[in-house]
Structure 1
Amino acid sequence: MWAVGDAYEAYVGRWSRRVAEAFLSWLGVPGGLRWLDVGCGTGALSAAVLAVADPVQIVGVDTSEGFLAAARARVGDARSTFRIGDAGALPLPDRRFDAVVSGLALNFVDDPRRAAAEFARVAALDGVAAAYVWDYAEGMAMMRHFWDAAVALDPAASELDEGRRFPLCRPEPLQALWTDAGLDGVSVKAIDVPAVFADFDDYWKPFLGGQGPAPGYVMSLTPERRRALRELLRDRLPHAPDGSIPLTVRAWAVRGTLKDEPPISE
């Protein structure tokens, strides 16, 4: 599902870049440090780090070779390295990075608790570990509209709805995940950015790319059922006088600092 960089960019990549910028502004990490981007995908967060945080190094890790190829092509900076790796077993030494971050990936890993422990393991003492995920249940409007329409036509689609599948993507579970990993000063913040689609086609066509649960569902439908979903969404989405579709996308961000050696994970 997560393999084609261009399709992902059209779907949510363009909005994730804006969230990345707001996330880094919130972190306020000084320049000249070593960064790790876990689940780096097509490189949106890594590119933002290089643009605004002045790192001496950033390493991106992801399980998808297709996404890593897109990240290498996008970033093209001598300070960056992208490599295959799993968030639950990072192929990196202890205490290596001053900032360990992850954008829109934590809910997709097999074991988020293990991933958070790995974030803490590779973070330097006094380093920051932080991540953000979409607010699928409420604030990620482009997906919320989609799944509400899909379920109206096909109640079985509720089993695929990210708002139901990813209870981690709320403030309280994120706070607990970071605290349990042994991080200090844990805080959670909502990041909202506008997502304005030029017209309905600009909204709908990315769902035909197959990258992600919602596009995967669309491509599993018969042509007739796909048309029915498309037309229901066309009717339900808000439209501005110029034909654009003004929405907002929200992410929840969590951060903490490694002040002491974290507890050993079982």
Structure 2
Amino acid sequence: MWGLGTAYEAYVGRWSRRVAEVFVSWLDVPPDRAWLDAGSGTGALTSAIVAAARPVSVTGVDPSVPFLTAARAAGPALLCAGDAAALPLASGSFHAVVSGLALNFVPRPEAAVREFARVAAPGGVTAAYVWDYRNGMAMMREFWTAAADLDPAAAALDESRRFAFCREDVLAGWWASAGFRDVSTRRIEIPTVFTGFDDFWQPFLGGQGPAPAYVASLPAERRDALRELLRDRLPAAADGSIAMTAAAWAVRGTA
């Protein structure tokens, strides 16, 4: 699922970059600090750190080598392959440990949060954000509603069911259990405006993520039926643009 960086960027990477900018500003980490981006993917959060936080260094860890290759364009970061729940890094090494849109794809997210605590320096900030799949990701809500109407079995694949733990109370609980203090959360909402239906639909054909993977599994006639149902349902403006919003839950704490 995670092998084509350009396809991921077209799907949700472009929206993650906007969330990352707000997220980094919210953290307000002083300059000249060492950062870790755990689950760095194609570099959306890494780019925001490099652009706005004036870090002394940024290390990105991700299990997908193709995504790490794509992330090299994000700026001067040390990139390595690894598991967020078993980081190949020394304890107490980072002043800021962050993760963007990755925790729900880690088989043991609570273990990953404990790893964040291990590698964070005392007094350092540790934070993450995940999509609000239940109430805040309009593009995915529209997709899975249409998919389930055509194929009831698709409902079980919906991220709002699979990742029901992507909520502020669960995130705050994980941070508290890992020993962080001053734990707080916030919701980050951004506009997601598609220039037209093709701008909305084409990224679902890239295979990067649960919804695109579902589309890739469909025979041509069922894929076409889903496309046309979405075309009929989406709220297009007179110029063809489709205005939606996307929201993420963010959590932070102090090591």
Q: Which TM class, normalised by the smaller chain length?
A: over 0.9
Runs of 4+ in 1 over 2 A off after TM superposition: none
Deviation at 1:159, TM superposition (A): 1.2
One-letter code aligned to 1:190: R
Q: Which residues of 2 match residues 143-154 of structure 1 at below 5 A?
A: 143-154=140-151
1:49 partner letter:
I
Looking at structure 1, the residues matched to 75 and 23 of structure 2 have their Cα atoms a distance apart, in angstroms, of 22
1:234 aligns with 2:231: yes
Structure 1 residue 180 corresponds to structure 2 residue 181: no
Is 1:4 equivalent to 2:4 in the alignment?
yes
Aligned-partner Cα distance in 2 for 1:53–1:240: 37
Q: Distance in 2 between matches of 1:161 and 1:76?
A: 34
Q: Is residue 2:57 matched to residue 1:28? A: no
> In the alignment, residue 62 of structure 1 is paired with which amino acid?
D
Secondary structure of 1:234's aligned partner: helix
Asked if residue 93 in structure 1 is aligned to residue 103 in structure 2, the reply is no
Q: 1:119 aligns with which of 116, 121, 124?
A: 116
Aligned-pair distance for 1:233?
A: 0.7
Q: Tell me the secondary structure at the aligned position of residue 51 of structure 2.
A: helix
8 A contact 2:194–2:200 mirrored in 1: yes
**1:193-232 equivalence runs, <5 A:** 193-232=190-229
The 2-side partners of 1:251 and 1:34 are apart by 25
For residues 23-44 of structure 1, the C-alpha deviation after alignment (integer angstroms, 9 at most, x for no partner) is 0111111111000000000001
Unaligned runs of 5+ in 1: 259-266
Task: Please name the residue that 2:68 is paired with.
Answer: 68
1:9-65 CA distances to partner (integer Å, 9 max, x unpaired)?
A: 110111110000010111111111000000000001001100000000000000000
SS at match of 1:25: helix
1:146 alignment partner, SS class = helix
Once the two structures are superposed, the pairs formed by residues 42-53 of structure 1 within 5 Å of their partners are 42-53=42-53
Residue deviations 1:137-178 (CA, integer Å, cap 9, x gap): 120111111001101111100111000000221111111111
Cα RMSD for the two superposed structures: 0.7
- The offset of 1:237, in angstroms, is 1.0
**Structure 2 length as normaliser, TM-score?**
0.99
What amino acid is aligned across from residue 53 of structure 1 in structure 2? A
8 Å Cα contact 1:167-1:173 kept in structure 2 = no
Q: Tell me if structure 1 keeps the 8 A contact 2:183–2:253.
A: yes
Name the TM-score, length of structure 1 as normaliser.
0.95
1:131 alignment partner, SS class: strand
Measure, in 1, the Cα distance between the counterparts of 2:103 and 2:251.
11
What corresponds to 2:156 in structure 1?
159
Aligned residue in 1 for 2:13: 13
Helix, strand or coil for the counterpart of 2:252?
Answer: strand
Q: Is the 8 A contact 1:97 1:123 kept in 2?
A: yes
Q: Tell me the number of residue pairs that the alignment of Structure 1 and Structure 2 aligns.
A: 255
Aligned partner of residue 86 in structure 2, secondary structure: coil
Q: Which SS does the other structure have where 1:167 is aligned?
A: coil
Distance 1:180 1:255 in 2: 13
The answer on whether the counterparts of 1:141 and 1:249 sit within 8 Å (CA) in structure 2 is yes
Distance 2:136 2:232 in 1: 20
Mapped to 1, the partners of 2:212 and 2:27 lie a distance apart of 32
